[in-house]
Amino acid sequence: MEDKDFKKKLAGEKAAEFVKDGMVVGLGSGSTMYWTIKKIGEQVSEGIAIQGIPSSVQTANWAKEFGIPLTDFSKVKQVDLAIDGADEIDQNFDLIKGGGGSLVREKIIDSAAGQLIIAADDSKLVKALGAFPLPVEVVPFGYEIIKEKIARLGSEPVLRSQNGKAFVTDNGNYILDCLFSEITDPKKLHNLLKSMVGVVETGLFINMTDMVIIGKSTGTEILHKSRQNKN
């Protein structure tokens, strides 16, 4: 296993330790979450009773494979704990997410959660967001217009593609990957993008994260928001 994958595994498995009996758990998406979901599956087989809400088709498939009972928002209105990955984490615990294209469902689940834990390898920690191109989910109709509007904000949006075709999200939409290099005011940028007709959601997750679990070659480090803010 590569060093980065090992770190993801460490962080992902550690996050599963915060899942307790009786919880409704939001299940994030991505390769780090694979390890969390697998570990939660082991806990379920040992007897804890939880219900998971998956943030992508891929996550739902892994959850089924590992025996985690699933639910949805027609049955539950509240999520006790959400665990998710991230593409970038800044010093305020603001995030860029959506590298795998699951940002909309992730944001719905993460914002409904009483607590949000982010698990990631140490390469995801950044001083300022923006080196990772910001994923913006847009409706396919007229996406060309949104692309031009975003370009006027100082980015060169790229329509995400897969196997030579436009990548389509679980919600039937497109993703524009927008490189801004450095995002000085994440909230302002998010609001500007969200005000454009046809933008469904941005990958900026602002003021949502309670705890970050970082996987390093030496083990895991847990960062708490309050402590982080004092530094």
Ligand X SMILES: O=C[C@H](O)[C@H](O)[C@H](O)COP(=O)(O)O
Rule CB under 6 A: say whether 157 interacts with ligand X: no
30 touches ligand X by CB under 6 A: yes
Shortest reach from residue 3's CB to ligand X, in Å: 14
Q: Are 133 and 179 in contact (CB under 8 A)?
A: yes
Taking the C-alpha atoms of residue 101 and residue 62, their distance in angstroms, rounded to an integer, is 17
Catalytically annotated residue among 2, 13, 17, 106 = 106
Residue 112's identity, in one-letter code, is A
Among 14, 38, 97, 147, binds ligand X (CB under 6 A): 97
Establish if 105 lies at the interface with ligand X (CB under 6 A).
Answer: no
Quote the least distance from Cβ 21 to ligand X, whole Å: 25
Q: Is 130 in the site for ligand X (CB under 6 A)?
A: no
Element (H, E) at 16: helix 3-16
Closer to ligand X by CB, 166 or 197: give it: 166
Q: Which long-range contacts (CB under 8 A, 24 or more apart) does 182-188 make?
A: 182/128, 182/129, 182/130, 182/131, 183/128, 183/129, 183/130, 183/134, 184/128, 186/90, 186/94, 186/129
Examine the residue annotation and report whether 144 is marked as an active-site residue of this protein.
no
Q: How far apart are CA 125 and CA 94, in angstroms?
A: 10
Minimal distance in Å, beta carbon 101 to ligand X?
5
Size of the site for ligand X (CB under 6 A): 18
Chain residues binding ligand X by CB under 6 A are 8, 28-32, 84-87, 97-103, 106
